[in-house]
Amino acid sequence: MKIHKVGIIMNGVTGRMGTNQHLIRSIDAIIKQGGVKVSPTEIIMPDPVLVGRNEIKLKELCGRTSAEKWTTDLDSVMKDPAYTIYFDAQSTLRRFDAVKQAAEAGKHVYCEKPTAITTENAYALYKICRDAGVKNGVVQDKLWLPGLVKFMRLKENGFFGDILSVRGEFGYWVFEGHSVSPQRPSWNYRKEDGGGMVVDMLCHWRYVIDNLFGEVKHVSCLASTHIPERIDEQGKPYKCTADDSAYSTFELENGVVCHFNSSWNVRVRRDDLLTMQVDGTKGSAIVGLRDVWIQHYGNTPRPTWNPDVPQPINFFDGWSKVPEQETYDNAFKIQWELFLRHVALDEPFRWTLLEGAKGVQLAEFGLKSSEQRRWLDLPELTA
């Protein structure tokens, strides 16, 4: 059996996303399944070292997973040739210096989004990695969610005809902490710590829209801070300096219009925490994280507007649920396996730090649009 052993520096895995999605459900799961199978006689086996500032948490994670090594000394593993990949799941403000250090040390780079706070820095990270000749990638996990995969299958088969518009609804109620404990960290609501709904979610909407519907060319956004005070992890009140909701409209190069509402102050009465209604000339779909509901032209009812009588049509009845036609693995794990194949086998991987920079650009221009109260055009970021 030929084994490609790939050493991975995993920095910032003590955080919620780093622990659950990247360590436990991705790298640990890959190790426990016997690696990434290339052929009956060839596998890629990750060899992680966990890096962070909290020794207790690092030891605990090693006890819970297949990871056996940890350190609080990032510089030491950066110099170790046994580790060829640097992965970053730290808070955004810490990312630029660490990724730059990794690229200069000759490490291939894979990191969470947003890759930086500004487009200038995000694009600089891409160029630093490109010029250093290291492979690089950004996490764009939602592309492999079951609901989005089902949508792509429908699109590939011409179900929609010409897509006209997309309406996205994302969010849920995040408790402020005055009576019920909050389910998100306090830094999310402090601009000075890299928080904010626009910075957090428009990076996601950029790659989702670009890959599913067409390239974003213009943006109009209104960012709002609806709840001015929340309670932090120490039980103390703090002022919210970052936006907690964003109302964004995107015009694509192909003329499709996408509108996404994103909020941590909304109570959910829809199929999932994220739903997208996609309307086309031949059919429509409600796309959730896992399930998709469709209505074809031939099943479309013919309503008439008359508010003086009860509505005779049950509009839910004309939709059909797309069946499970294939198996779906964890979205983060799927992309990790693709990046490991990219590093070990030189297979193509198009989700580079350039794509990460595009996400940061949309967030930055979304905030500018909100401040200036106008539409903005997105400049092209080139390879």
Give the contacts of 164 (CB within 8 A, at least 6 positions apart): 256, 257, 279, 280, 281
Token pair belonging to 51:
């890096």
Nearest to 248 by CA among 184, 166, 141, 174: 166
Q: Which long-range contacts (CB under 8 A, 24 or more apart) does 235-243 make?
A: 235/177, 238/186, 238/189, 238/190, 240/189, 240/190, 241/189, 241/190, 241/191, 241/192, 241/195, 242/188, 242/189, 242/190, 242/191, 242/195, 242/196, 242/197, 242/199, 243/196, 243/197, 243/198, 243/367, 243/370
Of the pLDDT bands very low, low, confident and very high (cuts 50, 70, 90), residue 170 is very high
Q: How many domains does the chain have?
A: 2
Residues 66 and 170 in one domain: no
Is 381 part of a structural domain of the chain?
no
151 in a structural domain: yes
pTM of the predicted protein model? 0.94
Using a 10 angstrom Cβ sphere, with 0-12 exposed, 13-18 middle and 19 or more buried, the burial of residue 370 is: buried
Tokens coding 201: 């979610």
Instruction: Based on the fold, state whether residues 107 and 192 are members of the same structural domain.
Output: no
Nearest C-alpha neighbor of 316 from the set 330, 327, 301, 304? 301
Hey, what amino acid is at 74? L
345-356: pLDDT as tens digits: 999 999 999 999
In-domain check, residue 383: no
User: Domain span at residue 137?
Assistant: 2-142+331-352
Classify 108 in phi/psi space as left (phi over 0), alpha (psi -120 to 50) or beta: beta
**Domain co-membership, 252 together with 107:** no
Element (H, E) at 201: helix 197-212
Say whether both 190 and 304 belong to one domain.
yes
**Dist. CA 323–CA 348, nearest whole Å:** 31
Whether 230 has a pLDDT exceeding 90, the answer reads yes
CATH no. for residue 123? 3.40.50.720
Are 190 and 312 in a shared domain?
yes
Same domain, 204 and 181: yes
Residue 167 predicted with pLDDT over 90 = yes
The verdict on residue 157 lying in a domain is: yes
Q: What is the mean pLDDT of the chain?
A: 97
Average pLDDT of span 329-339: 98
Q: Is position 382 within any domain? A: no
Q: 280 and 340: one domain?
A: no
pLDDT at residue 92 greater than cutoff 90: no
First to last CA, the chain: 38
CATH of the domain at 257: 3.30.360.10
pLDDT digits (tens, 9 = 90+) for 1-38: 899 999 999 999 998 899 999 999 999 999 999 999 99
Residues 343 and 200 in one domain: no
> Are 151 and 278 contained in the same domain?
yes
Do 119 and 153 lie in one domain? The reply is no
228 and 195 assigned to the same domain: yes
Residue 82 in domain: yes
**pLDDT tens digits along 27-77:** 999 999 999 999 999 999 999 999 999 999 999 999 999 999 999 999 999
Residue 117 has pLDDT above 90, yes or no: no
User: What letter would DSSP give residue 90?
Assistant: S
pLDDT band at 85 (very low <50, low <70, confident <90, very high): very high
Phi then psi for 318, rounded to 5 degrees?
A: -90, 10
Predicted pLDDT of residue 287 = 98
